[in-house]
A and B are shown apart, each in its own frame.
Chain A
Amino acid sequence: MSKLKETVLNPIFKGNPITVLILGICSSLAVTVELKGACVMALSVTIVTAVSSLICSIIRKTIPNRVRIIVQLVVVALMVILVDQVLKAFAFAVSKQLSVYIGLIITNCIVMGRIEAFALGNKPIPSFLDGLANGLGYGLILIIVAFFRELLGSGTLFGIPVLSAIGYTNNGLMILPPMALILLGCVVWVQRSIDKTLQEK
């Protein structure tokens, strides 16, 4: 049981896909301008990693070794298109805002990385939890970065005026991608100060 617990907790802090494994940086720069978009992206990636890990784990013994990457790709692509289609039908404004980034989940290293590294060698339930936890770890960082970018860049949270209501002048730099990278660096810094074992010699 403690192994399952570790599977779930490790990716959220100690083995966080963004700040420790440095995977999925590209999309975390792109979709963190607003909290709403970041939340939908976090949710979408979590669903995609969890379910595609589950499916790949179920069929792991039948997959021919030589085409395993292709099979993984097909499964991930299926999930991504499903998420995209569902968003277009039920959350059109959000899907327009995220535009190409939903389709680009497929190129997010976290998804394929977890399938290749974990799901192909483990039973379905741990694989599902691993995918879920990695998605959540990714989402957590996304939401932290988006929180500061939206608050300081637009003065709002979820589109509701917070700082702008008390006369704050928006910082335009926060909206631009470079600031996301700097904020991400700050998150990595804070995390490595808390857990010294993550520091490289």
Chain B
Amino acid sequence: MNTNNNVYTVIYTTVICVLVAAILAFVSQSLKPMQQANEKAETISQILTAAKFSDKESLAQQSNQQIIETFKTELDHSALVNAEGKEVKRLGQDEVYSTSDLKAQNYKFADGSYEIPVYIFKNGTHVFPVYGAGLWGPIWGYIAVDKSLTHIVGAYFDHASETPGLGGKIKDDPAFRASFEGKELDLASNHSFEIVKGGAPAGRSNAIDAITGATMTSKGLDAAINDWVGAFKNYIKAAEEE
């Protein structure tokens, strides 16, 4: 058979591509429930790590069921907050917003029609999500504050494709995460939290050092934190006045 003529080549490649696409679609559909369950457990363990109920390493050893169970016991409730700072809706006890949900809400920041989740724990810790752009792809994370809603007790960040060893440190370097602890969100300022290239000046309570060699990721994280803290501003103010 002459496998080199044009008609054969076109038909052959078409058939191969359709066949491969069909296999991939089938596999993707059948594995989806399991993948989503894993992603949800991952999100919950990031929230728990930020809120200091556990740490990522020990949660990695636990089953998805155990992680969700811990979350349910510690959680008071989760709510969706709008631009006016009102709780518009309560989420279920084990319901969390995935990264793509956060992304969808991030698009609505421009016109103020967003409804973003805050996770409120029984000990008064509130966890705010943040989402933004790093250097190569999206970055997101969780910032935990105590009852005052401005005093940071912990943070956890993750990324899709930052450079390992440089921008990847927002996730991998425990010292970077730890540098958030004890800092304050300064709502009076437009730049309520700052990640400073070259090192935060001593005594600034709302600034931390940027990561060496990862200027763009640090800037992206700075912007993500300020966008989202800004979006929560009315909520935090309302809670302070109470």
Could you list which residues of chain A lie within 8 angstroms of chain B, going by C-beta atoms?
30, 61-67, 70-71, 74-75, 77-78, 81-82, 85-86, 88-90, 92-93, 96, 99-100, 176-177
Contact = CB atoms under 8 A, between A and B. Distances in A.
Contacts of B24: 78, 81-82
Nearest to A95: B38
A33 to B, nearest CB: 9
A86 B34 CA distance: 10
Nearest to B17: A74
Contacts of A100: 161
Contacts of B161: 99-100
B107 interface: no
Given A64-B4, A100-B161, A176-B165, A86 B31 contact: yes
A38 to B, nearest CB: 15
Contacts of A99: 161
Interface stretch (B6-14, B196-204, B208-216, B222-230): B6-14
Interface in B38-83: 38-39, 41-42, 60
A177 B9 CA distance: 43
Contact of A88 (B3, B13, B17, B31): B31
Contacts of B23: 78, 82
A82 B27 contact: yes
Contact of B35 (A63, A64, A88, A93): A88
A99 B8 CA distance: 38
4 nearest interchain CB pairs? A92-B38, A89-B34, A64-B9, A89-B31
Interface of B: 3-4, 8-9, 12-13, 16-17, 20, 23-24, 27-28, 31, 34-35, 38-39, 41-42, 60, 161, 164-165
A29 to B, nearest CB: 11
Given A65-B3, A89-B34, 4 more contacts: A78-B23, A82-B27, A100-B161, A176-B165
Nearest to B32: A89
A27 B104 CA distance: 34
B47 to A, nearest CB: 16
B120 to A, nearest CB: 27
Contact of A78 (B4, B20, B31, B60): B20
Nearest to B11: A64
Contact of A96 (B3, B13, B27, B42): B42
Contacts of B38: 88-89, 92
Contact of A74 (B20, B35, B164): B20
Given A65-B3, A82-B27, A176-B165, A70 B35 contact: no
B60 to A, nearest CB: 5
A64 B12 contact: yes
Contact of B28 (A66, A77, A85): A85
Contacts of B3: 61-65
Contacts of A85: 27-28, 31, 35
A65 B4 CA distance: 6
A64 B8 contact: yes
A71 B27 CA distance: 20
21 contacts: A61-B3, A62-B12, A63-B3, A63-B12, A64-B3, A64-B4, A64-B13, A65-B4, A66-B9, A67-B9, A71-B13, A77-B20, A78-B23, A81-B24, A82-B24, A82-B27, A85-B28, A85-B35, A88-B35, A89-B34, A90-B34
A43 to B, nearest CB: 18
A66 B10 CA distance: 11
